[in-house]
Amino acid sequence: MKFFIDTADIDDIKELAATGLLDGVTTNPSLIKKSGRKFFEVIEEICGVIEGPVSAETVATDHKTMLEEGRRLAGIAKNIAVKVPLTVDGLKTCKTLSDDGVMVNVTLCFSATQALLSAKAGAAFVSPFVGRLDDISEDGMALIEDIRLIFDNYDFATEILVASVRSPMHVLEAARIGADVATIPADVLRKLFDHPLTDKGLATFIQDWEDTGESIL
C-alpha cells in the first residue's frame, strides 16, 4: 500500500520524505490555510520535494471554472493530481482532464456508487473519507471493502485512496482490505513506527553492547 501524507506543512513533508517511505502528498484548502502561506507557493515547493503525486484541489463548483482551475493546477508540475469534488460538475471535469492525460483525485466520496462513477469518469484516485463516516456511526471500512470488490469486478485502474484517516488502526484495516493508498496525517504516520516492545528491546541491546566495552567503528 502506498503512503501519502495529508498535510501542507513543508517541514513534516521533508522529514517524512527523508525516510524513503512517502509516496505522495494530499492537500486541501483547509490544510493550505493552516500553513499560513500562499497556495501556489506551497504547492510548487511540495512538488519539488516529492516525486509522487501531489493533490491540489480546485475550489470552483461549476464545470467551466473548475476545468480552468484544474488545467492551471496541472501546469504547476508533472506530478500534480488535480483534486475535484464528487459532484456532477466535478465528474465532468474529471472526465475531461483524464482524457487529456491529467491525474485526477476525486474527493469527498462517501458511497460505493459514487466511487463507481469516479472510476467510470477516469479518475486516477478516488478518496473515500472513512473517519467522517465513523463520526456519524457508519462503517468507513465497510465502504472500502465495497469499493475494492466493485473495482476488482471490473478491473478499474482507479486507485482507492483512503482519506480522513484518524488512527493506525485505519491504516491497518485499509491494508488488510487491499486499498491502494492511505493518505495519513503526519502525527498518525509517526505512530506507525512506535511500539513499546521495540523501545524496550532496543534499550536492552544497547545496554548489553555497552557492557562489552567494544566498538563497531
The predicted pLDDT at position 55 comes to 98
Residue holding cell 463516516?
Answer: 133
The predicted pLDDT at position 205 comes to 97
pLDDT in tens, 125-143: 999 999 999 999 999 999 9
The predicted pLDDT at position 115 comes to 98
Q: What is the mean pLDDT of residues 11-15?
A: 96
Alpha helix locations (H) across 112-195? 112-120, 130-135, 140-154, 168-177, 186-191
Residue 32 placed within a domain: yes
Overall domain count for the chain: 1
Assign 23 a pLDDT band (cuts: 50, 70, 90): very high
CATH for 186: 3.20.20.70
The region that residue 196 occupies, defined by phi over 0 for left and psi between -120 and 50 for alpha, beta otherwise, is alpha
Residue 166 placed within a domain: yes
pTM score? 0.95
CA angle 69/108/9 to nearest 5° reads 70
Residue 193 placed within a domain: yes
Q: What is the mean pLDDT of residues 75-90?
A: 98
Q: Which of 54, 66, 45, 52 is nearest to 26 (CA)?
A: 54
Cα dihedral 199, 200, 201, 202, rounded to 10, equals: 50
Please give the Cα distance from 180 to 160 (Å, whole number).
Answer: 5
DSSP code of residue 139: -
The predicted pLDDT at position 86 comes to 98
Share of the chain above pLDDT 90, in %: 99
Residue 217 placed within a domain: no
Residues catalogued as catalytic: 83
Residue 128: which domain range?
Answer: 2-212
- Cβ atoms of 56 and 79 within 8 Å: the answer is no
